[in-house]
Amino acid sequence: MDVPDRVPKERYFDPDFFQMEAELLWPRVWQMACRLEEIPEPYDFVEYELLDQSVIVVRGAPPGDGGDMGVRAFQNACRHRGVRVVEGRGTCERGFVCPFHGWCYGPDGTNSRIPRRKSFAAHNLQPDDINLVPVRCEVWGGCAWINLDDDAPPLRECIEPAASTLDAWMVESLRAEWWLACRLPVNWKLAVEAFVESYHVVQAHPQLVIPTRYGMRDNAPFDPRAFIDADIQYLRAMSEGMAGMVHANDVRVAESLRDMELPADPQLAMATWNRTLNDAVTGWHRDRGAKMPSLNELDAQGINLEFFQLFPHYFVLPMYSSASSYRFRPLGPEETLMEIWSLTRYPEGEEPLTPPQPEAWESDDPRWPPIPAQDFSNLPRQQRGLHAKGFEYMRLSSELEGHISNFERTIDGFLAGLPHDKLLPAVQSVNVYPFDRPILDIGL
């Protein structure tokens, strides 16, 4: 990008640009490969795919079998003739068997059997060359992450400062309540960028614009009762519209406080309401036996924040007790798989079964909740509009859409082949909340 606040349209559909990302970006970044609920038991595995790469993520042996139930990852290719060893998810207590010629591998990736072994030359049977190829794998936030680049910094460095804030939220204790997926007919970056600015909210999500939530309505005197009603209306709209971003449990807690008395002073009234609701939500979940941070302590630290991107493709959106999370994966220059999880807290021992991997719905499927349906109605129109002959580049607000510029220029750093120590500050600048930030000097 020659001009930071202008994004050339070709970045969102040009096949050559897309191929550069496939070769120079995705193999060098940490990717959220699966939630740990997908592999809860010893020897469970799941396949993670991105473009032409497939990785097996495996839960290790239990302590009784000499293991630690750690999570490992391997390239999903038999060392004989490259056949993918697994599809989907399953269990591998007896290891993996290539379906083509029967080469066998243990859960730790070690080759355990080669049919007609003596028919192969010795140089094709070297131990290090016949095991499944390991892939870097680390665990954070209730998820397993992989990186195909052995020289990349550790995961933690690449997801800060969001990681430390989300640790305070205890995101590792959240569990998936449901999991949905959408095939969006748009470039993956276009999909990501629809969720990293609030400039669109007034036009795209009018049900979320509730002025009395902020104590103002037609310059009328502040009405504490109207303020409470408006805030509950907002929480309900978020819960119903997103099917979980504000959990229904937390809406019910808020409704139980509807009749509380508030001071007449607007600022004091809002602070009292927020503090009381935070305490009530925290207490409700702790009383059930769920792990739950103190929301007022998060407020005191200035980290009761609502939206985090972990570069490049994973998002966590915590509100009160729960969170939504998003993952974006490119399927082609103008097609993206977007997945949405609803995450919430359960008493220990009462966690739900692992949600099944979802069928990917189309963007106009009537089953989508209102808020994603509104976003999905705009995105295909934007992707088609980019092909207009007279449209050359996006014009970004330097104050409201600076995050998009910072994100795109960080991608440019990867495409330029810059070393990781040069890229890391830019990556971390993308992981910072809030998104309504100015265009920054990201050091590239």
| Vertex 306: Cα angle to 363 and 33 (nearest 5) | 60
Handedness of CA 412, 410, 148, 83 (dihedral sign): negative
SS3 (DSSP) at 296: helix
- 218 pLDDT band, cuts 50/70/90, is low
End-to-end CA distance of the chain: 11
Per the prediction, the chain carries an average pLDDT of 93
- Across the range 386-403, mean pLDDT stands at 94
Check whether 104 has a pLDDT greater than 70.
Answer: yes
Query: What is the pLDDT, as a whole number, of residue 212?
Result: 63
* Domain ranges, ordered by start, for the chain: 30-148, 201-300
Alpha-carbon distance of 257 to 111, in angstroms, equals 61
What pLDDT, on the 0 to 100 scale, is given for residue 221?
81
Number of Cα atoms under 13 Å in the Cβ half of residue 62: 7
119: pLDDT strictly greater than 70? yes
Distance from C-alpha of 244 to C-alpha of 322, rounded to nearest angstrom: 8
pLDDT over 90 at 97, yes or no: yes
User: The tokens of 67 are what?
Assistant: 């293991």
Q: Which residue has the tokens 């496939």?
A: 22
For residue 204, count CB atoms less than 10 angstroms from its CB and return exposed for 0-12, middle for 13-18, buried for 19 or more.
middle
CA 106 vs CA 32, 43, 91, 128, 178: distances in Å: 24, 10, 12, 14, 32
* Residue 214 predicted with pLDDT over 80: no
**SS3 sequence, 235-289?**
HHHHHHHHCCCCCHHHHHHHHHCCCCCCCCCHHHHHHHHHHHHHHHHHHHHHHHC
Render pLDDT for 13-50 as a digit per residue (tens, 0 to 9).
999 999 999 999 999 999 999 999 999 999 999 999 99
Q: Residue 349 burial (CB < 10 Å; 0-12/13-18/19+)?
A: exposed
Q: Would you call 106 exposed, middle or buried from its count of C-beta atoms within 10 A (0-12, 13-18, 19+)?
A: middle
Two tokens at 230? Answer: 């408006």
pLDDT of residue 219: 66
pLDDT at residue 213, rounded to an integer: 58
pLDDT of residue 207: 83
The arithmetic mean of pLDDT across residues 391-402, rounded, is 93
pTM more than 0.75: yes
Whether residue 215 contacts residue 266, with contact meaning beta carbons closer than 8 Å, is answered with yes
Report H helices in 32-153: 127-130
| Per-residue model confidence (pLDDT) at position 68 | 83
Does 4 sit behind a cis peptide bond, omega within 30 degrees of 0 on the bond before it?
no
Residues 219-274: tens digit of each pLDDT? 678 888 889 999 999 999 999 888 778 999 999 999 999 999 999 888 899 999 99
CATH value of 30-148 in 2.40.160.10, 2.102.10.10, 2.60.40.10, 3.30.310.10: 2.102.10.10
